[in-house]
Amino acid sequence: MIIPIIIAVFLIIIVGSSLKIVNNYERGLVERLGKYLKDVGPGLNFIVPFIDKLVKVDMREKVIDVPPQEVITKDNVGVTVDAVIYYQVTDPFKVTYNVDNFTVASVKLAQTNLRNVIGDLELDETLTSRERINTRLRQILDEATDKWGVKVTRVEIKKIDPPSDIMEAMSRQMKAERIKRAVILESEGYKQSEILKAEGDKTANILQAEGRAESIKRVADAERYKLITEAEGESNAIINVYTAIHKGNPTKDLISIKYMESLKEIANGKASKVFMPYEVSGILSSLASMVEVTKFSDNKEETESTSEKGE
């Protein structure tokens, strides 16, 4: 009874040792008696127990934390720098057989090249050129780790800490720069305000002048229209009077009487001097003739009445 049980347990152990499961994010390397044999993919894989060995390699992207270290810049200022490295295995064979401990090797490589990159920059460039440092480090590490079957996808500088005295000096410099910018902005604002105010006064004066000019123009147009209308009215009145006179065909005696009525109205005025028209002399002679004729007629009538009384 014991022997069958032992054989069954032995068979179970052999089957369990020969069947290996590789996850979807892993790749397997099969070694036979210490020598690389083949790659295996995800799923259930069979190996020869006690002869073959399965080495699993994680193919997911991973991150390595580079510890802080003191770095000297180009202008001899010591700064503390740390970073993180993101990488992904592209060749499980190379990462297993070409490097002993990839994590330690990549950290040491990153620290060395970080000193080289920052050593070529001054402090101000170091503080303002994080993207430039990240790109340069990624290129260097990617080239160096290519033979290890690893792709460096990204390198990020986490912090760059200058000494405390440098930080205080930078703080004072930044404060002075902010005050300077505030004063400049205030003066620019005052300048712009004065310019806008002057432009506003200029525009207002121009509009007032244009308004006065337009008002004067309209008053002049109204006065001209008034004079033209009055002149046209007087002209039409004169034409109507002239037409009426000629159509009525008045006698000289009637014209003389009308002249006399007009002279009466002229004499009633307040003027101390009266200028008579040239035609008045002819009218006055006509009036004198009319008076003489009237006197002659009256004398004749008186003579006739006297002779009648004598008889």
Residue 149 and residue 72 share a domain? yes
Per the DSSP assignment, residues forming a β-bridge with 126 are: none
106-118 pLDDT, tens digit per residue, is 889 888 888 888 8
Residue 140 and residue 98 share a domain? yes
- Average pLDDT (257-279) is 58
Residue 157 and residue 83 share a domain? yes
Residue 132 and residue 67 share a domain? yes
Any idea which residue has 């002057």 for tokens? 198
Per-residue pLDDT at 192 exceeds 50: yes
Quote the percentage of the chain above a pLDDT of 90: 4
Per the DSSP assignment, residues forming a β-bridge with 26 are: 58
Q: Is the pTM of this model over 0.85?
A: no
Query: Does residue 167 lie within any of the structural domains?
Result: no
CA atoms of 283 and 52, how far apart (whole Å): 160
- Among 93-97, 174-178, 241-245, 282-286, name the one with the lowest average pLDDT: 282-286
CATH code of the domain containing 89: 3.30.479.30
Residue 285 and residue 268 share a domain? yes
- Average pLDDT (111-139) is 87
Query: Does residue 13 lie within any of the structural domains?
Result: yes
Any idea which residue has 């993919």 for tokens? 41
Query: Does residue 48 lie within any of the structural domains?
Result: yes
Any idea which residue has 């290519």 for tokens? 146
Neighbour-count burial for 281-293, b at 16+ CB within 10 Å, e otherwise: eebeeebeeeeee
Residue 73 and residue 53 share a domain? no
Residue 141 and residue 97 share a domain? yes
User: ∠ at Cα 268 (264, 269), nearest 5°?
Assistant: 125
* Number of domain units in the chain: 4
Residue 117 and residue 73 share a domain? yes
CA atoms of 188 and 199, how far apart (whole Å): 16
DSSP secondary-structure letter at 279?
T
DSSP secondary-structure letter at 102?
H
The three-state (H, E, C) secondary structure of 13-63, written as one string: HHHHHHEEEECCCEEEEEEECCEEEEEECCEEEECCCCCEEEEEEECCCEE
Query: Does residue 234 lie within any of the structural domains?
Result: yes
Per-residue pLDDT at 130 exceeds 50: yes
Decide which of 176 and 167 is more confident.
176
pLDDT tier, 278 (very low <50, low <70, confident <90, very high otherwise): very low
Residue 230 and residue 198 share a domain? yes
CA atoms of 114 and 108, how far apart (whole Å): 10
pLDDT of residue 308: 52
- Average pLDDT (281-307) is 55
User: ∠ at Cα 249 (244, 250), nearest 5°?
Assistant: 95
Query: Does residue 116 lie within any of the structural domains?
Result: yes
SS3 66: strand
Per-residue pLDDT at 257 exceeds 90: no
Per-residue pLDDT at 310 exceeds 60: no
Residue 192 and residue 120 share a domain? no
CA atoms of 108 and 64, how far apart (whole Å): 11
- Average pLDDT (253-260) is 63
Any idea which residue has 């034409």 for tokens? 239
Question: Nearest-CA neighbor of 63 among 131, 125, 150?
Answer: 150
Residue 92 and residue 49 share a domain? no
Q: Which amino acid is at 182?
A: A
Per-residue pLDDT at 86 exceeds 90: yes
Q: Show the domain range for 290.
A: 252-295
Residue 8 and residue 19 share a domain? yes
CA atoms of 15 and 45, how far apart (whole Å): 12
Decide which of 229 and 258 is more confident.
229
Quote the percentage of the chain above a pLDDT of 70: 78
Among residues 162, 196, 229, the one where a domain terminates is: 162
Query: Does residue 75 lie within any of the structural domains?
Result: yes
- Among 129-133, 211-215, 261-265, name the one with the lowest average pLDDT: 261-265
105's tokens: 């090797």
Query: Does residue 140 lie within any of the structural domains?
Result: yes
What is the average pLDDT value for the chain, to the nearest integer? 80
183's tokens: 């004063």
- Among 56-70, 154-168, 180-194, name the one with the lowest average pLDDT: 154-168
16-44 pLDDT, tens digit per residue, is 778 888 898 889 989 888 888 888 888 88
Per-residue pLDDT at 49 exceeds 60: yes
The three-state (H, E, C) secondary structure of 167-197, written as one string: HHHHHHHHHHHHHHHHHHHHHHHHHHHHHHH
Q: How many CB atoms lie within 10 A of CB 154?
A: 14
pLDDT of residue 193: 87
Query: Does residue 119 lie within any of the structural domains?
Result: yes
143's tokens: 């080239």
